[in-house]
């Protein structure tokens, strides 16, 4: 692996705490999902080290929060420049440990870096208010202050961008951060830490805690009175558990949880564009994203034509090693993920669904892009987040019917629909019960947009001008005696 990189210093094997690299035993393997090879032996932290990292983050924040917004801006821009300078190496590391095609990894590195640049500027726009008082001799002022030390738990499916999206906002606000990346993909997080170090980010402001025991990390940061905020991206099941635990300390939370995104194709849609966007949304990262299309609703009048267009596009996708420049579909992350996808597909077939194309496992963790038709509400695949390359197709007749079906889920993260009728666009957009709605596009993640969901997909927003507010406290100042 190391021979593939220009900057050999990006490969690290232990935690980054208070500006130092910590290797303290508790080793576990990092596996390449494409071929099963061991990429690295990683040293995990014990609870004592985690506690020390919390203390050092607290000490670092006492200085970091007093810097001017322009000074924090300059640090974040320096980090951004380092990431762009090392983009190719970071992409290779990401593909090797996560499996996604190298062209998608490059896109993730660029996308993730943009959050640093965005929030570097937002640091200079943390505005307060002066409110007219209803009583003479008084003035009302509202200021904003950094919330405190922040803990962030990030997932394996976007091991670079999910870190930068959280920490850039927190650091811009004046907070120090402890990041616990997935034990499946720690190398990308540590490479970011090395570049933060090279960029001169002060010791203790950005820390990466490596452990294959995520509950130990969660226990320590939730119990700590120093850590004021937890930001988590992951499953709804774990999010509910963390929310319960954080309630004991009234700790601030941001939760970006599961999804079950509908993708609606109305009879007046541009079908070529809808098919292109469906493939982009459904099969990006082998279907392993929280905003992936999960249920595809197609109007009965264009059902057969849309299926043909979709099948043509799937037949051109290349499956294989993510390091191959021509690969479109990489492996699933591990055997548990493959088993889940296979079980969902098999249960649907047993209940009447049938495969139009794909459906075969063609390698250790590789599965063909699949179209599954005749899917209905009795099937688990209709209700659960698939997290794999299976497109489930459902026929509909009326606008009212499809909106009801689309909203028939506990989740409320992303949704998509396609129509040229702008009256319909407004009607449907308002009626869909989701935090994000893609209209005539299947790709809606941008740094300028507020990313997040409703219902059991969580709460809080990342990115946009709203993202920095998650890391700030409002303070109301009432000045009297001004007569």
CA max distance for the chain: 80
CA separation for the pair 338, 367 (Å, rounded): 8
| Active-site position among 45, 290, 292, 373 | 290
> Quick check: is 256 catalytic?
yes
| Active-site position among 108, 114, 194, 256 | 256
CA separation for the pair 160, 378 (Å, rounded): 37
**CB 194, CB 114: distance < 8 Å:** no
Q: Residue 244, CB half-sphere, CA atoms under 13 Å: how many?
A: 6
Cα angle vertex 389, ends 384, 393, to 5°? Answer: 65
Q: Which residues of 330-342 are buried (b: 16+ CB within 10 A; e: fewer)?
A: bbbbbeebbebbb
Q: Residue 224, CB half-sphere, CA atoms under 13 Å: how many?
A: 26
Annotated catalytic residues are 256, 290
């Amino acid at each position: 692996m190391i021979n593939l990189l220009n900057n050999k210093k990006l490969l690290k094997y232990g935690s980054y705490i208070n500006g130092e690299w910590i290797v303290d035993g508790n080793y576990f393997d990092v596996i390449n999902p494409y071929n099963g090879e061991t990429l690295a032996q990683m040293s995990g932290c014990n609870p004592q080290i985690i506690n020390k990292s919390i203390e050092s983050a607290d000490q670092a924040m006492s200085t970091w929060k007093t810097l001017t917004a322009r000074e924090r801006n300059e640090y974040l821009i320096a980090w951004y420049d380092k990431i762009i300078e090392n983009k190719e190496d970071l992409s290779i590391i990401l593909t090797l440990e996560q499996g996604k095609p190298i062209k998608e990894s490059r896109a993730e590195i660029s996308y993730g870096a943009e959050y640093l640049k965005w929030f570097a500027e937002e640091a200079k726009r943390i505005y307060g208010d002066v409110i007219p008082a209803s009583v003479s001799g008084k003035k009302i002022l509202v200021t904003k202050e950094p919330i405190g030390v922040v803990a962030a738990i990030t997932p394996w499916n976007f091991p670079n961008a999910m870190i930068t999206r959280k920490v850039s906002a927190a650091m811009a606000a004046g907070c120090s951060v402890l990041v616990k990346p997935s034990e499946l993909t720690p190398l990308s997080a540590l490479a970011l830490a090395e570049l933060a170090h090279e960029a001169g980010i002060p010791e203790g402001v950005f820390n990466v805690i490596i452990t294959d025991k995520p509950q130990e990390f969660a226990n320590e940061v939730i119990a700590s009175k120093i850590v004021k905020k937890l930001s988590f991206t992951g499953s709804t099941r774990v999010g509910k558990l963390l929310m319960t635990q954080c309630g004991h300390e009234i700790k601030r939370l941001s939760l970006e949880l599961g999804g079950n995104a509908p993708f609606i194709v109305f009879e007046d849609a541009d079908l070529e564009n809808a098919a292109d966007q469906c493939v982009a949304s459904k099969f990006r990262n082998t279907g392993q994203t929280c905003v992936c299309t999960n249920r595809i609703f197609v109007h009965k009048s264009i059902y057969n034509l849309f299926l043909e267009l979709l099948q043509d596009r799937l037949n051109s996708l290349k499956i294989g090693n993510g390091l191959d420049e021509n690969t479109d579909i990489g492996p699933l992350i591990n055997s548990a993920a493959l088993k889940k996808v296979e079980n969902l597909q098999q249960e649907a077939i047993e209940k009447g669904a049938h495969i139009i194309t794909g459906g075969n496992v063609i390698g250790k963790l590789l599965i063909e892009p699949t179209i599954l038709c005749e899917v209905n509400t009795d099937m688990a695949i209709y209700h659960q987040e698939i997290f794999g390359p299976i497109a489930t197709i459902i026929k509909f007749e009326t606008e009212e019917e499809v909106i009801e079906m689309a909203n028939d889920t506990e989740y409320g993260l992303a949704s998509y629909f396609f129509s040229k009728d702008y009256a319909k666009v407004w009607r449907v957009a308002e009626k869909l019960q989701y935090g994000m709605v893609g209209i005539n596009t299947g790709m809606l993640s941008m740094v300028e947009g507020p990313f997040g969901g409703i219902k059991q997909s969580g709460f809080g927003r990342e990115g946009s001008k709203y993202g920095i507010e998650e890391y700030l406290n409002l303070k109301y100042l009432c000045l009297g005696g001004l007569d």
